[in-house]
Amino acid sequence: MWKGIFPAGLLSLGLASQTSATLLYVSSYAGTVTTLRLTLPDDGSATGAAVTTLENISNSTGCGPNPSWLSLDYSKNFLFCLDEGFNGPYGGVTTFYTGDDGTLDTLDKLDVIQGPVSIAEFGVGGSGLAIAHYSGSSVSVVGFNAEGNLTLLHNETYALEGPGPNPERQEAPHPHEALLDPTASYVLVPDLGADLVRIYQADASTLGLTPIAPLTVRPGSGPRHGAFKVTSDKTYFYLVSELGNTITGYEVTYNENKTLSFDELFYIPTHGEERKLPEKTGAAEILVSPDGNFLIVSSRWEDSFNISNFDPTNSTEIPSDPLITYSIDHATGELTKVQEFAAGGRVPRHFSINADGNLVAVALQGDGRVVILDRDVKTGLFKDYIAYADIEGEVTAAIFREDYHTI
């Protein structure tokens, strides 16, 4: 959906070089969802004078006090925001209408079980949200209609018979993500507290989730997030575990009886090789690049780099955690490390990649900053920091909206 916007003011200045703009939405525990506008010189037409800018153009407090996650439905111009609701008794889901000018208008808000942290949109035409609730030990399904109105359809709360090997973090089930499989027929929910990936058959017409046999992972590993990769004849699933700081690779089989089987391919440290990491280190986000050739994970509370301050007048270096990139072998699903790159600051809880794969936005929870990284699509290597924005509070997610262009 290409939307051409031609601001008369700019045209009348007779600018020769074109720029294109992309919007980003950023959530923060400070209670805000902020719209940033990233303006880049267009390839081939940049005259050298053009600069990259990342501006805070709009903000909303409509999500509630503790925004934890954002999910965009491009086709309907809906942005869904989760409120973790630290002070309870409920968490929340909000539907925003995304204006082309960056504004976010609240369409509806629904109280849900406390602690929602991730959404998988599913259902015919996009009509349901599967939601993982970390502190509430639950999974729920919320339906929405064409007006963005939200309705609770189902919730399920889990319990443990006893604490897991890490009793501090595994005192209860902690569903950490809801993720749709590539066939849009299953929802997967890594549960950090239970050392399981819960699996459900997802009914696209009724929005029902039917639990099937879960994937059991190593005790104490604390699975957090996952990512799929599909080749012409295989499906791989990569799971990042926060407590164990590991990546597990699986080959997925779709069984005739509508269950999934997982054959473990490897189990490796997040950094690829054994390394002494600070005690508190916690792996966070994982994604496969749009071309399917690379896997990127983030790690937190390492301070494994010192980098130049983003304030050019400040010569004091700042600490940074890493983003770790692997290439994926299509035939075997195996990973080969290609780079560790400083994420741009502390605690990269979330990051996202644009459709072209040449830009990555990193949400740095520890520094209240969003950084845009320039990435070489062919080699998978990060090259540089091309823009940043300071955001009030702990930043929890940063996502691209790319159907917005300007000249």
Ligand X SMILES: *[C@@H]1O[C@H](CO)[C@@H](O)[C@H](O)[C@H]1NC(C)=O
Interface with ligand X, residue 202, by CB under 6 A: no
Q: Which residues contact 276 (CB under 8 A, 6 or more apart)?
A: none
Stretch that binds ligand X, among 45-53, 195-203, 283-291, 316-324 (CB under 6 A): 316-324
Rounded distance between C-alpha atoms, residue 345 and residue 342, angstroms: 7
DSSP of 300-312 = ES---EEE--SST
Q: What 8-state DSSP symbol labels residue 89?
A: S
Count of positions (residues) in the chain: 407
* Least Cβ distance, residue 185 to ligand X (angstroms): 15
Pick from 75, 259, 308, 336: which binds ligand X (CB under 6 A)? 259
Sheet with 369-375, edge to edge strand ranges: 348-353, 359-364, 369-375, 382-390
- Span near ligand X by CB under 6 A; candidates 74-82, 194-202, 254-262, 357-365: 254-262
Is residue 332 part of the contact set for ligand X (CB under 6 A)? no
The answer to whether the CB of 326 falls within 8 A of the CB of 294 is yes
To the nearest whole angstrom, how small is the minimum distance from the Cβ of residue 44 to ligand X? 32
Which one of residues 75, 306, 308, 336 is an interface residue with ligand X (CB under 6 A)?
306
215 is an interface residue for ligand X by CB under 6 A: no
Select from 309, 332, 355, 356 the one that contacts ligand X (CB under 6 A).
Answer: 309
> Taking Cα atoms as reference points, which of 95, 138, 107, 144 lies closest to residue 123?
144
Least separation in angstroms between CB 239 and ligand X: 20
**Shortest CB 302 distance to ligand X, Å:** 9
**Nearest by Cα to 73 from 407, 293, 405, 399:** 399
Q: How far is the CB of 7 from ligand X (least distance, A)?
A: 17
59 binds ligand X (CB under 6 A): yes
> Max Cα separation, the chain?
70
Beta bridge partners of 190: 197
Q: What is the 3-state secondary structure (H, E, C) of 29-61?
A: CCCEEEEEEEEEECCCCCCCCCCCEEEEEEEEC
- Check binding of 149 to ligand X (CB under 6 A): yes
- Residue 90, CB half-sphere, CA atoms under 13 Å: how many? 9
257 is a contact residue toward ligand X (CB under 6 A): yes
Hey, which residues between 369 and 398 contact ligand X (CB under 6 A)? 391-392
Q: Which residues contact 2 (CB under 8 A, 6 or more apart)?
A: 403, 405
**Residue 336 binds ligand X (CB under 6 A):** no
Q: Would you count residue 308 as binding ligand X (CB under 6 A)?
A: no
**Closer residue to ligand X (CB): 270 or 304:** 304
* Residues in 73-112 that interact with ligand X by CB under 6 A: 90, 108, 112
Interface residues toward ligand X, by CB under 6 A: 28, 32, 34, 56-59, 90, 108, 112-113, 147, 149, 152, 155, 255, 257, 259, 261, 304-306, 309, 314, 316, 318-319, 391-392
